[in-house]
Amino acid sequence: MTGVRVAGVGLTPFGAHEGRTGRDLFAEAALAALDDAGVAGDDVEHLNYGNFMGALAERQGHQAPLMAEAAGLRCAGTRYEEACASAGVAVREAVRAVRSGENDVLLAGGMERMTNLSTAEVTESLAVAADELFEVRAGVTFPGAYALMARAYFDEYGGDREDLAHVAAKNHANAVPNEYAQYQREITVEEALDSPAVASPLHLFDACPITDGASALVLVSEEYAEAHDIAAPVAVTGTGQGGDRAALQDRADMACTPAAADAAAEAYADAGVDSDDVDVAEVHDCFTIAEVLALEALDFFDPGEAVGAARRGDTTRDGDLPVNLSGGLKAKGHPVGATGGSQIAEMTRLLRGDHPNSDAVPDATVGLTHNAGGTVASAVVHVLEVAE
């Protein structure tokens, strides 16, 4: 089994891109990744592309061949859809293809265009990732669903809105120097607490924004990198995927995310590491409570302990485990089909030392990314390491 290296990464700025099409956004990220890798487009053997709501936002299905054409590729493409974990799954399947020997060079990533819709239309479009029959028809939206998870967590373990406000403030602070972040400004804990309620106990600054953006990665075999003298110091050494019941009412416990725990266990075993080996993490904080749930599922904290991690400073840039140095979904933004690829691109930059926040983790050698779909009915975890 061959090893997998991240040869290049590409991102668009996240935010509102008025007047631009989805294929334009993905082409920008893809061409940047190829340039970063020093790999010719003709060498790419397959495109693994993540997208969730393109058929609703742009009335465009069958996007993979369009995105390959936009990026100047002459290869087949496959679209992966797993709600907000779409790009994470696309990358995972690319890793598996390289490892198996089927491919030496793949382009993987994703794109989402959202700001061309109204807030109500985005909410309705995102809701199709929930159980339409038993949740959506009853009026459940994702802010409401994550509010239920937050209430369940508070009831079981304690914690309060101020703990979540510290998560929001931390991630906004991390986004300030990130040139790709949608919100490059700090907020205070007090501002988060005073923001308008969305779905109690969650308020405006507990939620990620509506975002356009694209991400792309060039993944290559170690043999290809060596043969073509490509500097690719970051390897994907672990990958895992987990699943859970889609509807919250069908779960035994809403205060934990077993899909993420299963994905993490698989990724750790695959990489031959455990949670104590991880130096830095990018986790799926679509809502502040989601970061808390992720940190416990990933075995960084025992149940009930992660809710106070940001307040204690455990997960800040100078803490023992810096989390979401990119700004996270909370402040960098969450173009849902692109997010999983964006996390890996940011982690690669952090480990290579060319991220604006790399100085917070100068000795980091092991990073983890966690990408979730829906109310974590789907989860993908990757372990990245600085190769020896």
Active-site residue flag, 334: yes
> Cα–Cα distances in Å, from 15 out to 113, 181, 184, 245, 375?
10, 8, 11, 31, 23
Chain segment 227-263, per-residue pLDDT in tens:
999 999 999 999 999 999 999 999 999 999 999 999 9
What per-residue confidence (pLDDT) applies to 1?
Answer: 74
Sign of CA dihedral 32, 34, 40, 43: negative
Q: Which one from 84, 208, 256, 286 is the annotated catalytic residue? A: 84
Residue 309 and residue 269 share a domain: yes
Active-site residue flag, 256: no
Coil, strand or helix at 381: strand
Residue 247 and residue 216 share a domain: no
| Percent of the chain surpassing pLDDT 90 | 99
What per-residue confidence (pLDDT) applies to 2?
Answer: 86
Is the per-residue pLDDT at 388 higher than 80?
A: no
Number of domains in the chain: 2
Domain boundary among 185, 219, 235: 235
Residue range of the domain that includes 303? 119-208+240-386
Residue 83 and residue 188 share a domain: no
Residue 132 and residue 32 share a domain: no
Amino acid identity, residue 20?
R
Averaged over 303-323, what is the pLDDT? 98
Sign of CA dihedral 335, 336, 341, 342: positive
Residue 183 and residue 59 share a domain: no
Backbone angles phi, psi at 105, to 5 degrees: -140, 125
Residue 180 and residue 54 share a domain: no
Averaged over 59-74, what is the pLDDT? 97
Residue 201 and residue 142 share a domain: yes
Domain boundary among 220, 235, 250: 235
Residue 131 and residue 22 share a domain: no
Chain segment 103-147, per-residue pLDDT in tens:
999 999 999 999 999 999 999 999 999 999 999 999 999 999 999
Averaged over 43-59, what is the pLDDT? 97
Residue 70 and residue 22 share a domain: yes
Residue 133 and residue 93 share a domain: no
Averaged over 217-228, what is the pLDDT? 97
Averaged over 63-73, what is the pLDDT? 97
Q: Which one from 17, 172, 334, 355 is the annotated catalytic residue? A: 334
* Whether 203 contacts 161, CB under 8 Å: yes
Which residues neighbour 120 within 8 Å (Cβ) at sequence distance 6 or greater? none
Residue 17 and residue 96 share a domain: yes
Q: What is the DSSP letter of 40?
A: -
pTM: 0.97
Amino acid identity, residue 279?
D
What per-residue confidence (pLDDT) applies to 171?
Answer: 98
* Whether 198 contacts 206, CB under 8 Å: yes
* Whether 271 contacts 253, CB under 8 Å: no
* Whether 43 contacts 73, CB under 8 Å: no
Q: Which of 249, 233, 41, 217 is nearest to 131 (CA)?
A: 249
| Percent of the chain surpassing pLDDT 70 | 100
Sign of CA dihedral 347, 351, 354, 358: positive
Residue 215 and residue 300 share a domain: no
Locate 366 and state its tokens: 């092991």
Averaged over 302-311, what is the pLDDT? 98
CATH code (residue 94):
3.40.47.10
Cα–Cα distance for residue pair 315/325, rounded to 1 Å: 10
Chain segment 344-386, per-residue pLDDT in tens:
999 999 999 999 999 999 999 999 999 999 999 999 999 999 9
